Homo-oligomer: A and B are copies of this chain.
Amino acid sequence: MTKRNILLTPGPTPVPPQVLQVMAEPIFHHRTPRYRKLFGEVSEGLKGIFRTAQSVYTFTGSGTLAMEASVVNFLSPGDKVIALEAGKFGERWGEIAARYQLNAVRIKVPYGETISPDEVGKALKQNPDAKAVFGTHCETSTGALLDIQAIAKAVSNTPAIFVVDAISALAADRLEMDVWGIDIVVSGSQKGLMIPPGLTFLAASEKAKVLNKTAKLPRYYVDLTQYEKSLKDSDTPFTPALTLVLALREAIHMIQKEGIEKVWTRTAELANYTREAIKKLGLELFSKRPANTLTAVKVPAGIEGEKLVSIMRDEKGVTMAGGQGEMKGKVFRIAHMGFITHADLETGIAVLKETLNELKSKGSNKVSV
């Protein structure tokens, strides 16, 4: 049995040893000066990663919870919104909007493609009453990157707010919340932030905060007014996932030490290395505008995609991700963000090559076996 254990999935990503370690420390109570000091540090640190002077609110939950929070805290029933859907996670915006009886204009492109800023501009002209545009920075189901800088510019000239799901893009692809004029950024803990899943984050611009004042959709657990009030005392309104907050402080320290700009550059280099290596194997990238977060690769003809992923994982100790939803069996995905190293990717690519060859030779020998 191999002892190899390399995680190349786009969340959870590998957790650094020093981060794992603090989660095993004895637990303590959260309504204490010790917790407020910790949470104050974390909340300040997140601002540097979100590139914002605004508060970053921390919810205990999965990323989808913060997506829902960015709908219910800013909108009212019947509001018109524009949802940019270029994959499974973009579609989630449309789904949440539909659940809350919003009037959602859904801009949909085939999986693997992305939505151009021009298309968004056109939709905004056709729908001047739109209250919000919802987009996905890195569409994790396809590996495609949305040009959120240009889209933010288009949205900023309208009354709408621009809401970005940066769950898998944060601390992987450059994101400048304040400078680019993004109104809401949501993210999660188990991607570029290098800690386990269980925390999710939201930051809002002044423009968004104005909308929050009249938003009528019902909410309780994610009601931002409670988080804003608690954050003044470096606290959360409900019991936080303490061990994950401890972990996050360690991870933020690592990011601060390296510098967020360098994190982006390093991730871009790993992404580039991976894409080149994939092409050298004669494989085809799935996305036309690939993100730094992950690379989605087309499963070559004659290979079962799900089998490829499970053999690499169960027999060779390299976990890549298969396709999600309608992409199942058609792509596999290799993450290169967070604590994933060049060496991890080299091994991953070597194992991929080996497994593809094995599967191909089995395939061609099928009749004679």
Contact = CB atoms under 8 A, between A and B. Distances in A.
Interface of A: 5, 7, 9, 11-15, 20-21, 23-33, 59-65, 68, 95-96, 99-101, 188, 190, 196-198, 217-221, 223, 238-244, 313-314, 319, 321-322
Given A198-B241, A198-B244, 9 more contacts: A7-B27, A20-B23, A32-B319, A60-B62, A64-B220, A95-B220, A100-B220, A188-B239, A190-B239
A24 B27 contact: no
Contact of A319 (B28, B96, B221): B28
Nearest to A15: B27
Contacts of A15: 26-27
Nearest to A237: B64
Contacts of A27: 7, 12-15, 20, 196
Given A11-B239, A99-B218, A197 B60 contact: yes
A244 B240 CA distance: 13
Contact of A21 (B24, B197, B218, B240): B24
Contacts of A101: 218
A25 B23 CA distance: 10
A156 to B, nearest CB: 28
A250 to B, nearest CB: 12
In the complex this chain forms, how many copies of it are found? 2
8 contacts: A7-B28, A12-B27, A20-B27, A29-B321, A33-B314, A65-B65, A99-B218, A99-B219
Contacts of A62: 60, 221, 238-241
A20 B24 contact: yes
A96 B242 contact: no
Most buried by B among A101, A220, A319: A220
B26 A24 contact: no
Contacts of A13: 27
Nearest to A247: B243
A196 B239 CA distance: 10
B5 A29 contact: no
Nearest to A61: B61
B197 A239 contact: yes
A99 B219 CA distance: 7
Contacts of A96: 220
B31 A321 contact: yes
A217 B31 CA distance: 33
Contacts of A12: 27-30, 239, 242
A240 B20 contact: no
Contact of A218 (B59, B217, B319): B217
A84 to B, nearest CB: 18
B32 A238 contact: no
A368 to B, nearest CB: 31
Contacts of A9: 29
A303 B277 CA distance: 70
A197 B313 contact: no
Contact of A198 (B64, B223, B243, B321): B243
Kindly list the 7 A-B residue pairs having the minimum CB-CB distance in the complex, ordered from nearest.
Answer: A198-B241, A24-B24, A62-B238, A196-B243, A23-B23, A20-B24, A9-B29
